[in-house]
């Protein structure tokens, strides 16, 4: 059944991509990649996303699973792909038979039509927050997946890697030169990086200057950016003007201590959120990206590791289903909005010629209607419980302190919560009741710079003309599109 779904996905994606105009496909390659996440209540139509990637010249994509629907859209696209194996599958991959089946199902079945470069085994599995849950399963899974790739005859061009958070290494005195792997995982990390080195695979690390700023009130604000002018001195006369370089070189020094000084490093995630925190906004995000992209365009590298760097921006779209345990900003990392529009001008080549990127094409919206608080309701005693329900099942992260919708009056706050739930439920009239406290209106509820979004038309009604019944049925059954 899985193979049939994959075949249908590939066929549908190929037919949909064939309809793309030459103009939509224009755009040269750039040196950055993007992370294409999937934790959205209503993901965008993959074929349209691929059109957008190609229109903007984005040539690399990192994914967090191997879902055949988006992967099928990348077939024959020429875009380099990193597929993912989620953390909850790591124990399964401890069986070589399962790893072999996964490679057969998700790698070799595509042949040369998918430009696959890496398989990401897990995602930040050694985070301290996981309390060692994946400590015993990650390395065996990595070895089994690489062995399966090798035996399938693709190990020379497809490498198994493990994207890791920057918390796997430390510096006792906050100097990059003192960088070393965390004491509790030093032996494991040393074995793992030597395995990567022996198999020609890179070290993939996620670096977030925003989180450095978020996690400590004492962190120097300007040091989070590339134009702050702040200098921190290290041994040997080396100075650092930004935390990105300092973090990267802390890893490089940890790799030296582990005996693999020349192991290639890829930054698997780097970005800046645009909402959900006082420092998460469009102005600061643009400042961060402009600095990062300019740096990458110069191929200057870092003080300890000069030269070209490979970086994947995080992320492509806002993801309204992500956990907000780390902070409300988690749902707002996208450089594109929920409906595929660019948030601010960028120049992915880093030359400083900022302009709005090409949006995701072919987006159709549901009727322009909103669910709002009915202040004429007789019994308002049930308001607190209904607001709590709406925010627990919807997304109220923009309402927090310092966020884009902070400062609304009480009525507008309630309406925002109700509308987010209503839209995430595909504008089902039953989702705008709340014990008689809400009503549907065709008057745009957006106010005071706060966007009250409208859902988009489901993909089930938008199968491309000429698709076979099986492909059309697959698309209709598989997806609800929220752009």
Integer angstrom CA distances of residue 381 from 387, 420, 432, 473 = 11, 21, 17, 46
Interstrand relation of 438-441 and 239-240 (parallel, antiparallel or unpaired): unpaired
H/E element, 180 = strand 180-181
H/E element, 255 = helix 243-257
Burial tier of 78 (Cβ tally within 10 Å: 0-12, 13-18, 19+): exposed
Instruction: Show the tokens assigned to 390.
Output: 């709406």
410 is catalytic: no
The phi and psi torsions of 105 (rounded to 5 degrees) equal: -75, -35
**Distance between CA atoms of residues 302 and 309, nearest Å:** 9
Integer angstrom CA distances of residue 196 from 103, 202, 249, 336 = 18, 6, 19, 33
Helix (H, G, I), strand (E, B) or coil at 420: helix
Residue-wise burial string across 95-130, b where 16 or more C-beta atoms lie within 10 A, e elsewhere: eeebbbebbeebbbbbeeebbbbbbbbbbbbbbeee
**Distance between CA atoms of residues 459 and 479, nearest Å:** 6
**Distance between CA atoms of residues 179 and 305, nearest Å:** 14
The residue from 31, 80, 91, 124 that is catalytic is 124
The residue from 80, 151, 222, 269 that is catalytic is 269
364 is catalytic: no
Residue-wise burial string across 29-57, b where 16 or more C-beta atoms lie within 10 A, e elsewhere: ebbbbbbbbebbbbbbbbbbbbbbbbbbb
Handedness of CA 336, 337, 340, 343 (dihedral sign): negative
Interstrand relation of 32-36 and 60-63 (parallel, antiparallel or unpaired): parallel
Residue with tokens 């059944």: 1
Instruction: Show the tokens assigned to 260.
Output: 């693999």
CB 252 within 8 A of CB 305: yes
Within 10 Å of residue 240's Cβ, how many Cβ atoms? 22
Helix (H, G, I), strand (E, B) or coil at 40: coil
Closest CA to 21 of 44, 51, 49: 51
**Distance between CA atoms of residues 268 and 312, nearest Å:** 5
Burial tier of 237 (Cβ tally within 10 Å: 0-12, 13-18, 19+): exposed
Residues classed as catalytic: 124, 269
């Amino acid at each position: 059944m899985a193979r049939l779904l994959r075949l249908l996905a590939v066929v549908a994606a190929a037919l949909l991509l064939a309809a793309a105009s030459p103009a939509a496909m224009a755009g040269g390659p750039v040196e950055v990649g993007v992370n294409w996440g999937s934790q959205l209540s209503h993901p965008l139509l993959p074929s349209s996303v691929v059109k957008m990637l190609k229109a903007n010249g984005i040539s690399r994509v990192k994914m967090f699973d191997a879902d055949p629907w988006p992967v099928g859209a990348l077939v024959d696209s020429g875009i380099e792909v990193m597929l993912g194996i989620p953390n909850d599958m790591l124990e399964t991959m401890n069986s070589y038979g399962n790893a072999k089946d996964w490679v057969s199902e998700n790698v070799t079945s595509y042949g040369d039509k998918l430009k696959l470069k890496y398989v990401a085994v897990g995602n930040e599995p050694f985070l301290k927050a996981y309390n060692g849950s994946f400590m015993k399963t990650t390395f065996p899974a990595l070895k089994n997946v690489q062995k399966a790739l090798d035996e399938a005859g693709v190990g020379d061009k497809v490498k198994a890697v493990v994207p890791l958070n920057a918390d796997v290494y430390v510096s006792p005195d906050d100097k990059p030169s003192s960088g070393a792997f965390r004491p509790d995982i030093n032996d494991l990390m040393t074995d793992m990086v030597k395995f990567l080195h022996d198999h020609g695979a890179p070290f993939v690390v996620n670096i977030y200057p925003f989180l450095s700023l978020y996690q400590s009130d004492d962190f120097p604000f300007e040091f989070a950016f590339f134009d702050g002018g702040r200098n921190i001195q290290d041994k040997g006369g080396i100075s650092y003007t930004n935390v990105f370089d300092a973090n990267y070189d802390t890893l490089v020094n940890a790799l030296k201590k582990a005996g693999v000084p020349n192991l290639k490093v890829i930054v698997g995630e780097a970005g800046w959120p645009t909402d959900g925190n006082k420092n998460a906004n469009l102005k600061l995000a643009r400042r961060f990206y402009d600095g990062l992209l300019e740096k990458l365009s110069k191929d200057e590298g870092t003080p300890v590791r000069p030269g070209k760097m490979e970086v994947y921006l995080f992320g492509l779209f806002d993801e309204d289903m992500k956990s907000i345990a780390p902070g409300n900003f988690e749902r707002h990392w996208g450089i594109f909005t929920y409906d595929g529009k660019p948030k601010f001008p960028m120049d992915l080549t880093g030359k400083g010629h900022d302009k709005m990127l090409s949006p995701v094409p072919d987006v159709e919206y549901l009727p322009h209607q909103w669910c709002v608080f009915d202040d004429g309701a007789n019994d308002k005693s049930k308001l607190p419980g209904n607001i709590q329900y709406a925010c627990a099942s919807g997304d109220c992260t923009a309402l927090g302190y310092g966020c884009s919708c902070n400062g609304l009056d009480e009525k507008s706050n309630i309406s925002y919560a109700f509308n987010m739930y209503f839209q995430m439920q595909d504008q089902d009239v039953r989702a705008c009741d709340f014990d008689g406290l809400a009503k549907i209106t065709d008057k745009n509820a957006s106010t005071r710079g706060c966007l009250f979004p409208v859902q988009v038309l489901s993909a089930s009604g938008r199968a491309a003309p000429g698709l076979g019944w099986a492909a059309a049925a697959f698309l209709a059954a598989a997806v609800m599109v929220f752009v």
